[in-house]
């Protein structure tokens, strides 16, 4: 999660038994990523990963040097996402790194499988951030992944409860990935007002921007997002007319300086409708695992016994 998934949150997730992930491009340069990886290592002895996202972004980025830092620092799990990650997947695999590739369509998952990726993170239409342009929600996407893929996959997008974890397993996934839900945890370093906006919002509190640029992004439905949508309606596909409202610098300001949830566009998912509190990562994950176990052990067997 760009500008959210720093060492503190990643380490808290790993310490609670998950796989915390640092976002490489949240760091201003590759050396800053090296420091962040070292910081994470000082906060947890558990495995953690680094995300490398290849998306159209405003500032050109030296992905190769970021990738080299990840390799040099001996991070053993990388999550790739975005456009044409093939060369980076190859480079990470050559260095014996486990590669988890996040994608939003079965055809991209099949390409990643062919490229030697170890695990797919299937990101359904529910997800925060970039759901792609096919608009396929997880109820179908995961079931199709189970029918199609040979490698393991995890369910991403819209997950925040143990009942959903159990459902994801039933649909063939081997685990879940959560973004928005982890923003509303104690260890996440964004300001309390933003976390509270996630608690106060519901499943109708997101909207899509960048549709006319074929780079759709699910964001918090606020006055800035509405303005961007209006501008896109007036001038479809013209990034120039929305550029000033959508910069990462603006949402960084909301997250870490003002706590104002209205004055920037920032990603979050419809799982907001299931977020009612701000627990620690440990509390959240324990609660989810207990709920999933309860569904699998206690709710499902009576149904089977009636067969």
Give me the residues that bind ligand FMN (CB under 6 A), please.
1-2, 4, 23, 51, 53, 81, 102, 123, 126-129, 156-159, 178-181, 183, 266-269, 271
Shortest Å distance, C-beta 52 to ligand FMN: 8
Shortest Å distance, C-beta 275 to ligand FMN: 10
Shortest Å distance, C-beta 179 to ligand FMN: 2
Q: In this structure, is the dihedral angle defined by the CA atoms of residues 183, 189, 194 and 196, taken in order, positive or negative?
A: positive
100 phi-psi bin (left φ>0, alpha ψ -120 to 50, beta other):
beta
- Judged by CB, which is closer to ligand FMN: 43, or 198? 198
- Judged by CB, which is closer to ligand FMN: 42, or 83? 83
Is 29:215 a contact under the CB 8 Å cutoff?
no
Shortest Å distance, C-beta 234 to ligand FMN: 27
DSSP state of 283: H
- Judged by CB, which is closer to ligand FMN: 49, or 157? 157
- Judged by CB, which is closer to ligand FMN: 116, or 132? 132
Collapsed DSSP state (helix, strand, coil) of residue 130:
coil
- Judged by CB, which is closer to ligand FMN: 75, or 183? 183
DSSP states along 45-111? SS-EEEEEEE---SS---HHHHHHHHHHTT--EEEEEES--HHHHHHHHHTT-EEEEEESSHHHHHH
Q: Which residue is nearest to ligand FMN (CB)?
A: 179
Shortest Å distance, C-beta 260 to ligand FMN: 15
The DSSP bridge pattern shows strands 217-220 and 206-209 to be antiparallel
- Judged by CB, which is closer to ligand FMN: 241, or 250? 250
Shortest Å distance, C-beta 214 to ligand FMN: 17
Burial letters 240-261, b for 16+ CB under 10 A, else e: eebeebbebebbbebbeeebbb
Q: Which helix (H) or strand (E) holds 122?
A: strand 119-123
């Amino acid at each position: 999660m760009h500008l959210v998934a720093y060492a503190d949150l990643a380490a808290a997730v790993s310490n609670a038994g998950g796989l915390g992930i640092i976002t490489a491009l949240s760091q201003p340069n590759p050396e800053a990523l090296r420091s962040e990886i070292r910081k994470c290592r000082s906060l947890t002895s558990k495995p953690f990963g680094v995300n490398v996202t290849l998306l159209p972004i405003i500032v050109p980025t030296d992905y190769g040097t970021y990738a080299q830092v990840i390799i040099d620092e001996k991070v053993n799990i990388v999550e790739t996402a975005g456009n044409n990650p093939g060369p980076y997947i190859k480079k990470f695999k050559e260095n014996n790194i486990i590669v988890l590739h996040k994608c939003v369509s079965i055809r991209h998952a099949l390409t990643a499988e062919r490229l030697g990726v170890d695990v797919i993170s299937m990101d359904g239409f529910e997800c925060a951030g970039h759901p792609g342009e096919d608009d396929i929600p997880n109820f179908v996407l995961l079931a199709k992944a189970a029918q199609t893929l040979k490698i393991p996959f995890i369910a991403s997008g819209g997950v925040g409860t143990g009942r959903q974890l159990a459902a994801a397993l039933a649909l063939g996934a081997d685990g879940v990935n959560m973004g928005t839900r982890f923003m509303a945890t104690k260890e996440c370093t964004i300001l309390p007002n933003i976390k509270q906006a996630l608690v106060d919002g519901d499943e109708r509190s997101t909207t899509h921007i960048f549709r006319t640029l074929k780079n759709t992004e699910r964001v918090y439905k606020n006055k800035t997002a509405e303005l961007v949508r209006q501008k896109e309606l007036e001038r479809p596909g013209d990034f120039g007319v929305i550029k000033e409202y959508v910069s990462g610098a603006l949402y960084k300001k909301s997250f870490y300086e003002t706590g104002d949830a209205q004055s920037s566009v920032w990603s979050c998912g419809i799982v907001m409708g299931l977020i009612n509190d701000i627990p620690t990562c440990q509390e959240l994950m324990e609660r989810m695992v207990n709920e999933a176990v309860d569904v699998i052990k206690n709710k499902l067997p009576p149904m089977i016994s009636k067969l």
